[in-house]
Amino acid sequence: MASRLMIACVAVLLALPAAAASSSGLRNQAHTEGNGHRLVVQNPQVDQQMVICNAYVSVKKLDIMLVRTRQTVTGGSPLAYKQCKEFSLPLQEGDQIDFKAGGVDVGTFYATGMPKYAASLLLIPRRRSPQAVGMKFESHAFADLQTPQIAVVNACSGKNEKLDEAVKISDMLVAHGEEAVQEDLKFNSVVAVNPGKYGISLAGAVAGTMSLYAAGTGKYVVVKVGVEGDAKNPQELVVFPSAAHAAMRLSVTLFAVLACLLGLTSSI
């Protein structure tokens, strides 16, 4: 039976920028017309959807701030190690995003080459080395596709970051008696897959197979975290959104639809 898993490799994982501004677009500068009027054309503010996954190995959670607005992105819920969360941010070219762990500055991300349209962005802070306090970042802007996409990132710390390893993805919706199709997902790449339920695993990891439900035009993240040779922080995979997270979002959506229907019924 032919594999239904992989459609195509979308791209090698790239740092921002995602797309260059069109030379014919509006520019943020002043113009003086012949009639003496001064026109100032401002770039519109765009709220970007950014998933931040904390691969910074520490018991201390991360507080995240957008410097320009002084907005604490995480509010009163700092991001724990191995936790991913989606944020809506009014990002502009050159914006700085500061990260603190337990009140200590540990890194700053500079947003350059920002897309001029609403996009799905990914940002993963990690340690520069197992002993370093400072951060390094992995980032990506997802393409606008009509299929689910999976970004596969190696954010593990160690002397020998093995990029030749692969994450295993297997089809979990197979007919009785058929053998599940399994393929490799290379690290630091983005792939498009067919909608479906998949198993995600890493050879040699402590954790077992994790579930990933790919649907619609969803953007998914698989991150390898941990420290090489550290039993307290073993190498393992983080999948976002997780199966539990997807189920919770579905239940919230169904509840909202039900509430709407009940409201319409009571008003008739």
Domain tally, the chain: 1
- Whether 136 is covered by a domain: the verdict is yes
**Selection from 203, 115, 185 nearest residue 148 by Cα:** 185
Give me the sign of the Cα torsion angle 244, 66, 49, 222.
Answer: negative
- Whether 25 is covered by a domain: the verdict is no
More confident of the two residues 181 and 238: 238
Please, which pLDDT band fits residue 18 given cuts at 50, 70 and 90? very low
Least confident piece of the model among 2-11, 32-41, 217-226? 32-41
Give pTM, 2 decimals.
Answer: 0.78
Mean pLDDT in residue range 234-250: 72
- The percentage of residues in the chain with a pLDDT greater than 70, rounded to a whole number, is 70
Give me the sign of the Cα torsion angle 82, 61, 99, 111.
Answer: positive
**Selection from 92, 101, 105 nearest residue 16 by Cα:** 92
- Whether 124 is covered by a domain: the verdict is yes
Give me the sign of the Cα torsion angle 145, 49, 17, 64.
Answer: negative
- Whether 82 is covered by a domain: the verdict is yes
- Whether 159 is covered by a domain: the verdict is yes
- Whether 116 is covered by a domain: the verdict is yes
Residue type, 96: Q
CA-to-CA dists, residue 166 to 3, 69, 152, 202, angstroms: 18, 40, 9, 7
More confident of the two residues 155 and 229: 155
Q: Please report where in the chains the tokens 């943020």 appear, as a residue.
A: 28
CA-to-CA dists, residue 133 to 46, 48, 57, 99, 263, angstroms: 32, 28, 10, 12, 53
Residues 133-157 have pLDDT tens digits of: 999 999 999 999 999 999 999 999 8
Domain hosting 55: range is 6-17+44-267
- Whether 155 is covered by a domain: the verdict is yes
- Whether 120 is covered by a domain: the verdict is yes
Give me the sign of the Cα torsion angle 181, 225, 242, 152.
Answer: negative
Q: Is the pLDDT of residue 262 over 80?
A: no
Residues 57-116 have pLDDT tens digits of: 999 999 999 999 999 999 999 999 999 999 999 999 999 999 999 999 999 999 998 888
